[in-house]
Amino acid sequence: MSFEIPKETNAGKVRTITLGATPEKGGTRSQTVKIGGSTSSPFHFFEGENPHPPVVAMEVFDQVPAKYPDFLRDHYRDVIDKPSAMAKKCVDEYGADLISVRLEGTHPEKGNRSAEEAAEIVKQVLESVSVPIIVTGHSHFEKINEVMKKVCEATAGENCLINYVETDNYKTIAAACLAYKHTLVAQTPIDVNLAKQLNILLTDMNFPAEKIVMDPLTGTLGYGLEYTYSIMERIRNDGLAGDKMLAFPMLINPGYETFRVKESRSSEKEYPEWGDLEARGAYWEIATTMSLLVAGAELIIMYHPRAVGVVKKKIEEMFVPKKGN
């Protein structure tokens, strides 16, 4: 029986974003990471181009999150509070494509670490690994502006991914990114219009569009995942349909969001029908990640080493141009 595959082509294309910089470009990374560039829905090789596979970053901390589960701690033991050593372990042993340094400890209520100290930590991580770096902040505007300015300056030319700015607080950090040649995450709360608006605000201040990654805000499994999922599909579809202010690659945070919810921290003793805790935590992070991958996520920040392993393997399996059939 004859059958013709119904293909849909798109006018638009997701922008290609380069993270990190090699010595020729003013940085010290051994290689850069590219994301974006797709002309179709995620992994639809049969009807479009998907030049760059999604990448997995792992996160290290200036201060370990209060709710960080013990079973995760067990994977890192002596390096959990040494960001540069933990980063090295994530890259060498777990195959992280990038490292995110979370600077929660600079928050005035969570340690109030100084901007200088934060910049020092980021520099140490840059020295210990050769992959591109993401610098992840928080929402205390005044403090994070000061911290990110310092970090941008101290890492000038490295093309770090500065994570994040939001609609109410973008100018200072965007200006610092621009001055010291970094890439920027534009975060908005699960809303297509707000996402588009922030991208317009940024490009209106002459921030280059090819230096923007979108964060539509991750709701983990059971905590708003469906909203994130559909917003991402809509952003991807609109971007492909030709809306240039939505045609950016997207970042998600399944690690951070998963390992603070009850389902990844409560024991089987407490909830027998929930099953084994550590497995459940990993499953939760994987289910969040895999569903958002098919919705369009291209840069994923994860926590559980075994979840990272399986997600990387699946990305490899999904990233095969169509053969046969």
Partner 1 sequence: MALSGLDIFKLLPKTNCGDCGVPTCMAFAMKLAQKKAELSECPHASEEAKATLGAASEPPIRLVKIGNENTLEIGNETVMFRHDKTFFHPTGIAIELRSSEDQEKLLSKIKEIEQHQVERVGEKLKTDLFFITQDSQDKGDFLKAIKLVKQNSAKGIILDCSDKDSLEEALEILKDDRPAIFLRQELTEQDIELAKKSQASLILTAQSFEELAGQTEKARSAGLNDLILNLESQGVGHQLQDNTVLRRSALKKNFKSFGYPLLSYIQAEDGLELIAKASVFLCKYDSVIVLPRYDKALLYALFTLRQNIYTDPQKPIQVDPKVYPIGEPTPESPVFVTTNFSLTYFIVSGEIENSGLSAHLVVADTEGQSVLTAWAAGKFVGEKVAKFIKDIKLEQQVKTRKIVIPGFVSQISGDLEEHLPGWEVIVGCQEASDIPSFVKKVKLT
| Residues forming the site for partner 1 (CB under 8 A) | 1-3, 5-6, 8, 41, 43-46, 66-67, 109, 139, 219, 221-227, 229-230, 233-234, 237, 260-263, 273-277, 279-280, 282-284, 286-287, 290-291, 293-295, 306-307, 309-311, 313-314, 317-320, 322-325
Burial profile 238-268: b = 16 or more Cβ within 10 angstroms, e = fewer: bbbeebebbbbbbbbbbbbbbbbbebbbeee
DSSP code of 110? T
Least spacing, CB of residue 225 vs partner 1, in Å? 5
Looking at the Cβ atoms of 25 and 260, the one nearer to partner 1 is: 260
Cα 200 to Cα 303: distance, rounded to the nearest angstrom: 32
Least spacing, CB of residue 256 vs partner 1, in Å? 12
Least spacing, CB of residue 217 vs partner 1, in Å? 11
Closest to 208 in 3D by CA, of 17, 5, 14: 17
Least spacing, CB of residue 220 vs partner 1, in Å? 10
Looking at the Cβ atoms of 53 and 157, the one nearer to partner 1 is: 53
Least spacing, CB of residue 244 vs partner 1, in Å? 21
Least spacing, CB of residue 2 vs partner 1, in Å? 7
Looking at the Cβ atoms of 206 and 325, the one nearer to partner 1 is: 325
Least spacing, CB of residue 57 vs partner 1, in Å? 18
Looking at the Cβ atoms of 175 and 310, the one nearer to partner 1 is: 310
**Single-letter amino acid code for the residue at 180:** Y
Looking at the Cβ atoms of 31 and 139, the one nearer to partner 1 is: 139
Looking at the Cβ atoms of 132 and 296, the one nearer to partner 1 is: 296
Looking at the Cβ atoms of 26 and 108, the one nearer to partner 1 is: 108
In the chain, count H helices and then E strands.
10, 10
**Single-letter amino acid code for the residue at 184:** L
83-92 and 115-128 helices, crossing angle to 10°:
30
225-241 and 192-204 helices, crossing angle to 10°:
50
Chain centre to alpha carbon of residue 50: 19
Q: Sign (positive/negative) of CA torsion 113, 80, 284, 314?
A: positive
According to DSSP H, which parts of the chain are helical? 70-76, 83-92, 115-128, 141-154, 171-179, 192-204, 225-241, 254-258, 277-295, 305-318
